[in-house]
Structure formats: C-alpha cells, structure tokens
Chain A
Amino acid sequence: MTDPVISADALHVSVGNKTILKNVSFTARRGEVLALLGGNGAGKSTTIKTFLGLMTPSAGTANLLGQNVQLQPDIVRQKVAYLPESVMLYGHLNAVENIRYFLSLAGKEKTDDDIALALKKVALQPHAWQTRLQSYSKGMRQKTAIALALLRDAPILFLDEPTSGLDPVAIDEFNGLISQLASQGATILMVTHDIYGACHVANRIGLLRHGELVGMFDAPQDGNIDAEVVHQAFTQGLK
C-alpha cells in the first residue's frame, strides 16, 4: 500500500457557532478517485475548501502528500488543481487568455499546442477559444476551467460539482477524462450530487450528511460501485 495522497484526520470545521464538518476522516491514495456525495449543506464544498487552505479547521488536520495544508498552504497549493462549482474565470478574457494567465500565475508555462490540446480534450468548440468568457454558457466556462485544471499537471485534483452545467455528451467525455487522469496517477477528490456519475468514475464514495461522514463505499476490483446501493443510502438519509 502506498501512503495516502489526500488524508482527512478527524476534521472539524466551524463557522461562527455553526459546525460544518464533524470529525471527518478519510484517505485517498495515488490514482484513486474519491467522490463525496451529500445533500445541500452536507459539508462537501467545505471539505474541499479546507484542503485548499481557504478554510481553517478548528480541530483535526487536512494533509496533502503528507503535508499539513494549514501549515504550508503555498507549497501544497502548487500540487493542486481545483475546479470550483461556479467557475471563477475572467469574463474580459477569452479561454486561451484565461488559461495562459492563471497558468502563469501558478508558475506553469504551456505552449499554444498544449492549450489547444487541452481545450480539444474538454470538447470546447475551437471557434469559441478566442471569444471572451462573458458570452460563454455555464457549460463552456466549465470546460475552460477543466482544461485549466488539466494543464496544471497537478498530482491532486479537487473537483467541486464538476459536471454541473455540462450536457450529457460532455459529462461522458469528462468522466472519461477523469478515469484517464486517475490511471495516469492523479489523485482526485470530487464532490457531487450526481450519484450515477460518481459511481461510474469513483473508486470510493463517501456519504456526507450534516457534516458527518456516514458511509464509505468501495468499488469492487473489477467493476463500479453499485449506484442503487449508494442511492438507497443517500435517500434514506434525506428521509
């Protein structure tokens, strides 16, 4: 067994008097896709933000590649690519300019061919590449952000509702990309509402409810996690 790449150890996060995460622990190893499922307010996005160093745990630790995120956020962030739920790119820039700008800020240099390849991978229409993002649909923005995440060449990917806004074809293509990246050694933590999509790509699925990790489902050696089982566990909690 390799050391865990992503590791939450008794994470506890509060905002004011409100507790968002309670004693959450999980790990993900190299090449694994871990999906966190949960309803609204379950603490999914907070988990990712804590790993990104944007929120500070009141107890417990969030480690990436064995390093405490809170102690060395800048070093840890260099190894991370992040795809936010609502894509936060610049409307005054086109897709290529956005990607080039954020890559430069992250200290990554990529050629035009690399960027074109990434944009093709996420199936963004070439005629849209030079159009400013302010006129993009949510799905097109999402694709641009995914291309950026791919180009970061980061060993760890955090994906917050990555397929929201994508059409079914793009979702299939995206899931294919995730599997491909995982097979190349990337460790992926994604949070989603999409049970079937998660079961399709994830090796493990954690179920969050009111800030607590209430279940963990592992994929069998030669197949996917049973979506019906997860669905049942998910909806039981909602009832």
Chain B
Amino acid sequence: MMFRIWLIAKDEWRYWRRSHLAMTVLMIAVVLAIASVVVTFSTVSLAAHQRAHLQSQAEQKFVEQPDRHPHRMVHYGHYLFRTPPPLGRLDPGVDAYTGTAIFLEGHRQNGATFSGQQHSAGLNWLSALSPAFVMQILTPLLLIVMGFGVMTREREAGTFDFLKIQGVSPLMLTIGKGVALAGAGFAVLIPVAVGALITLFYGSSILSVSAFVFSYALYVGFWCALVLLVSTLSRSHVGSFSALIIVWVVTCLVLPRIATNTAVVTVHSPSKLETDFAVLQKLREMGDGHNANDPAFKALKDNLLAKYNVDSVDELPVNFKGIVAQKSEADLTDVLNDFAEQKMEEGVAQAKVARQFGWLSPAIAIQTASMKLAGTDLENYQRFLREAEAVRFAFVQSLNKLHAEGLSYADDVNKYQSHETLQKAKVSANNWQVLSDFHFVPLPAAERFAGSIQALLQLFVLWLVVSIGVVLAGRRQ
C-alpha cells in the first residue's frame, strides 16, 4: 500500500513538473520563502546589532556626563532599546508596530518609539515580507493553486475509475495526493525551518525552535488536508478552486479583522487621549515634586522634622528637596503604573478575545503560536515595558537618593545665586554609575511554549477535524 501511495504522490509531482503553472507557482513560493528568510534574517540581525550598539552607546553617554546637579541627570534621561529575540528573525511579530526604544526620564513614563510602522506611511504590512507572512498567508494560496484539482482532475478525466480497477482504493489515491501536496507545502517550509535552526546559534532554545517549526508544519498540514478535502468533495475543478479561495479569504483576511474588531468592542479600552487626561488629573492632585514647599508634602516635612528632632528643613541631615523628589517619584510611579497596568491588561484581554477566533481561523492560531514562540507577541512587548519601567524607577530613585544624601539643602536652594554656588550644587560624575546593564530577553522558552499551547491545540484540532473529513470523504468515493 505504501508503495502505491508513493507512486501516486510521485506521479502528482511529475504532473506538476510538466504543468508550467504549478511549477512556476511553487518556484515563486520557494524563492519568496528563501528571500524572506534571508532578508528578514539579515534585517533583524542588523537591527539587533544596532540596538545593542545604541544601548551601550546610551549607557556610555550617560556615564560620561560631567559633574551635574543630580536632578538634571534625572531629566537628561536614558534610552533603552529592545533587542529582538533570535526567532524574531523569522517572525518579527508586533515589533514593526510597537516602538523599539524608550526614553527614560524622571516623572514620566514615555511610550516606546521608533516603530517600523511609523516610518513606512502605514504600508509596513505590505513591505514586510517576513517568513511568517509567507508561511501564514501566501503558502495556503500556493497549496490551493497546486492542489485544487488533485482529485477533481481524476474525476473529470475519468481516470478515477480506471485507477480503482488497477487496485487503487479511493482512500489510497486521496492519501497519495495528500503526500504530494504536503511535499509542496514542506518545500516552502524548509527555508523557514533552516532559518529557525540557524537561530540556535543566536541563542534560541531547542524547545522554541522545534515548537516553532512544528506549529508551521501543523499549519501546512491543515491546508494540505483542507485542499484535499474540498477537491475530493467538489464536482468540478472550478467549484473546488472557488470554494478554496473563499475559505482562504475568510480565514486569512476577513476573520482576523473580525477578531480584532470583536475584541475592541467586547473589551472597552479608553483612548490614549482619555488616559492621558486621567493621568494628568491624578498627578495634579499629588503636588509638584520640584517644589519642596508644595502643601502636598507638608506631612512628609513634619514627619521628617519630628524624626530628626529639628525645627527646620535647613537643619535636616538630608536634603529635603531630594527627599521630596524621592517621595514624589514613588507616588507618581504608583499612579503611572496603575494606569499602565490597566492599559496592558486591557490589551491582553482584547488579545485573548481575538485569539479565541483561532478555533475558526488557522491563520489566527498560527499567528498567535508563532509570535508567542518567537517571543515577539504582545505579552513579551509588555514585559519589555515593565522591565524598562523598573530600570527607569531604579535609576531615577538612585539619582534622587544622591540628591538627598550627596548634596546639602543649603547648596541646593542657593544654587542660582552665583557661578560658585551653581558649581557647589553639583555632584561628581563618578556618581553616574547608577545604570545596570540592560539587555532585554523574552520569556524563557518553557514559558513561551506554555503560552502557545492553546494556539497549538487550535491548530491540531482544526487539522484533525479536516483530516477526519478527508478520510471519510476518501472512503465514500
């Protein structure tokens, strides 16, 4: 039986080799896959290298600053760059739409900036021909063009009955055609699989790479089975082609949009403007951290005077302005974090709603699995934002501590009286070593895999259902 299946698959390939359309389509798909792997791999590798370089440059520039007032360094700020994960070379995920760098400074949580989408007039989705895009959107089209007639052709030419008489059962014929179709799908998958293996040298884990390749194999398997099923059930090749194109449009183009819109409607998230106003309103109630005499800090002042048993802030052993800056930053960060967390939770809730559509659309399921395994999904981006905020808070508070303990209150309040007093209100540049080496890494491989299980399950269930359909349809012929 295996020999006959192999023969049927081999003959299908011979048919494709001799049919210029099928061979041309396959060649284009394979070349596109190779080109997308090479281009995206080198582009993302270059971006990773540049960001790592810019990161160390930003750190270097910060520590090279001359003697300054600590609060000036708080506003001088620092940049953090998001280095793409190794598998991001094959699926850049949300990287193109979210920022890649964050400017960290006191009293503010800036958003990430410098996204590919911002610099491509909104056409990034067209120009970014990533391996993920080729596999998720174009490979199903290839399989449709190559396979819509695998079964209808036999029926229309009358060879179906003739094959039966040679002892070829309908199921055997169906499986043979399926093997041929899978060969075409895997021909496109090979460059991506090779690219995934190469990422092992860039720090990818074996688990992530195996699961990444497996998820795409499952996706290709689903489309092979679907093309086979529709071709088996259709009476004519025109009907088969039309039905498959409709399924492709619905699952790859329409359902992802419906999923996004449904998520936005079901999980309400205030607009950026609304959030910004709400944050501003809340911050106004907290007092101005730059003004130590702001009534909002009266309790702090009283507590401090009582603690050190003195009558005025001039007598405190610490710089009250620095203490106010520390307190203000901590309170402000709590508020900003509350809003940021709420925003991120809303984003995750919306993503979860959209991901449920993966039970209907394999394209949504593979997008989720691929980005999660690559570490380029929304959650990993939020992880970057949280890590960046932790770095921001730590370095700002280090400088505020220096402000409180390394500079006297008297020198601080009198700094604008003369050139000399201004010089006295500075601390040594040796104190700028407050930055820790930052290198963003996505979640550990095991956690990324755990996060992708639902999407993998969706793909598996869809593949299984369609495969059972193929077997039943094959037997019924």
On A, residues with C-beta under 8 Å from B are 49, 52-54, 74, 77-78, 80, 82, 84, 86, 88-93, 101-102, 104-107, 132
Contact = CB atoms under 8 A, between A and B. Distances in A.
A220 to B, nearest CB: 34
Given A105-B7, A105-B168, A84 B158 contact: yes
A11 B8 CA distance: 34
Nearest to B10: A101
B167 A82 contact: no
B166 A74 contact: no
Contacts of A91: 157
A107 B8 CA distance: 13
B161 to A, nearest CB: 5
Contacts of B19: 92
Contacts of A54: 161, 164-165
Contacts of A78: 167
Interface string B133-156: 000000000000000000000000
List 9 tightest A-B contacts by C-beta distance, closest first: A88-B162, A88-B158, A106-B166, A105-B166, A88-B159, A92-B18, A82-B165, A92-B15, A105-B168
A132 B18 CA distance: 10
B14 interface: yes
Contacts of B168: 105
B176 to A, nearest CB: 10
A105 B158 contact: no
B146 to A, nearest CB: 14
B157 A88 contact: yes
A77 B166 CA distance: 7
Nearest to B159: A88
Contact of A89 (B7, B159, B164, B169): B159
B14 A93 contact: yes
Given A90-B159, A92-B19, A105-B4, A77 B167 contact: yes
A52 B161 CA distance: 9
Contact of A105 (B14, B15, B161, B163): B163
B338 interface: no
Nearest to A105: B166
8 contacts: A52-B161, A54-B161, A74-B167, A89-B159, A90-B15, A92-B15, A92-B18, A102-B166
Interface residues of B, number: 20
Contact of A107 (B18, B164, B165, B167): B167
Nearest to A145: B162
Nearest to B4: A105
Nearest to B163: A105
Nearest to B15: A92
Contact of B167 (A88, A101, A106): A106
B11 interface: yes
Interface string B3-17: 010011001001100
Contacts of B14: 92-93
Interface string B443-457: 000000000000000
A52 B7 CA distance: 23
A105 B8 CA distance: 8
Contacts of A102: 162, 166
A52 to B, nearest CB: 6
B165 A77 contact: yes
Nearest to A78: B167
Interface string B157-186: 111011111111100000000000000000
B7 A101 contact: yes
B159 A74 contact: no
Contacts of A132: 18
Contacts of B7: 101, 104-105
Contact of B158 (A74, A82, A86): A86
B291 to A, nearest CB: 85
B159 A52 contact: no
Contacts of B4: 104-105
Contacts of A84: 158, 161-162
A52 B403 CA distance: 97
Interface string B245-258: 00000000000000
A53 B204 CA distance: 57
A204 B168 CA distance: 32
A53 to B, nearest CB: 8
A82 B159 CA distance: 12
Given A88-B157, A88-B158, A92-B18, A101 B165 contact: no
B169 A74 contact: yes
Contacts of A93: 11, 14
Given A54-B161, A93-B14, A104-B4, 11 more contacts: A52-B161, A74-B167, A77-B164, A90-B11, A90-B15, A92-B14, A92-B15, A92-B18, A102-B162, A106-B166, A107-B167
Given A105-B4, A106-B167, A88 B15 contact: no
Nearest to B176: A105
A85 B25 CA distance: 35
A93 B10 CA distance: 13
A102 B8 CA distance: 10
Contacts of B8: 105
A104 B162 CA distance: 14
B153 to A, nearest CB: 10
